[in-house]
Structure 1
Amino acid sequence: MLVAAAVCPCPPLLVPEVAAGAAPELDAARDACADAVGVLAASRPDLLVVVGPADESGTFRHGAVGTFAGFGVDVSVRLGAGEPGAQRLPASLAVGAWLLERAGWADAPVQGHAVAERLEPGPCAEAGEELASRAGRVALLVMGDGSACRTLKAPGYLDERATAFDAVAAAALGSADIAALKGLDDRLAHELKAAGRAPWQVLAGAAADAGLAGRLLYEDAPYGVGYFVGVWS
């Protein structure tokens, strides 16, 4: 059963070594993410699952390794404590693993679940239901960004629909509105390059019967990309 969830953005720029001289620009986001991970620890889960977007869906075991070498820095992370495994994490889960390492996570075993960015809403919700059934007390660290089309210099250029899409997503994440998350348009999300849509709908499926309340800790659009940090508990 799902007992808590944290929602965090997943840009590799959260890792200061990747951001380099621009690192201070995301300090507020990093602080909010640290607070969100603290809520997960306080929920005393039997299992923590890090959920994030990727090209293909897949499950990652405790100890899977991620690296930011592709972003120009020699920084590696591991999913949970213990011996490193052979699996290699996609970028979103590597950022989640970095957040957990930064927090000194040792509260419960950790698994990873990558969600294909084009996975339709129904299968996303079904995946969430399955994750919530993996242990008596399950917590989720849900990684994902909003639209990448908020400004002219955004990765997806300016799209006038982006602000409204992000407003709906932020309100749903901040109020644990499961119906609103399930109702996010997957085609529009793809057009707006909103990589968080599928992971958020996994969260909606996992939380269907959990009765959790939500709170938004951070909302901004640096670099023209919607970043949200929230907690459900």
Structure 2
Amino acid sequence: MSALQHRGQSVAAVWELCRLVHPPGGRRIVVFVLALAVAGIGALPRATASPVAAFGAVSVTAGASAVVESDSIRIPVTGAPATLPVLEIRGEVQRLILPTANLDGSLTDLDGRRFRLDADLLFRFDSADLTPAADAAIGELIGKLRAAGATRVRVDGYTDSVGEAAYNLTLSRQRAAAVADRLRAALETGARLTVRGHGEEDPVASNDDARGQALNRRVTVTVER
């Protein structure tokens, strides 16, 4: 048996498996093409080659071996063969970054340049006074900002929707300012910090329950440059 015939039979076997597992439609076809690549029957394309260049195209008829034809894959279906164009598969590998929190959850590193501080752990109730627990969290944050080479930093404060909106706006700005004062004293001379209070705007969770309200009470720190 020639290598070409062997490859054709392998393609037919992969199609039969996809036909048994997946219902008719576009999903079956996509799975089939990907399965060929994974099985090594048709390698995923490089920058200078496509699947057609790698293994041509295959015509499959019921009970017969596959043969190379032109630029399409003919797949056995009930009644008559179906023709599937051979598509070039291209993809880009992107870095996956997941948020990480410290042990007590007071500081969450979102992506190395954006950070979230839990207001309930950093501040006393209904106050902008920092708690003793804030020292460790802000100290850890300062290390991360230095590692990022931060020269311009934005500090934003947020509250939940409980209480008067005007009061919440003032409290959120005071809390952001308290964090910014600590950062300003520790960062390199010349670092610029911008402070903003947003009150109950831009919630990250529902304010209808205690858990959501706690998530919305926060201070975020963003490295702008």
Q: What TM-score, normalized by structure 1, do the two folds share?
A: 0.32
Larger radius of gyration: 2
Q: Which protein, 1 or 2, shows the higher relative CO under an 8 Å CA cutoff with sep ≥ 6?
A: 1
Q: What TM-score, normalized by structure 2, do the two folds share?
A: 0.33
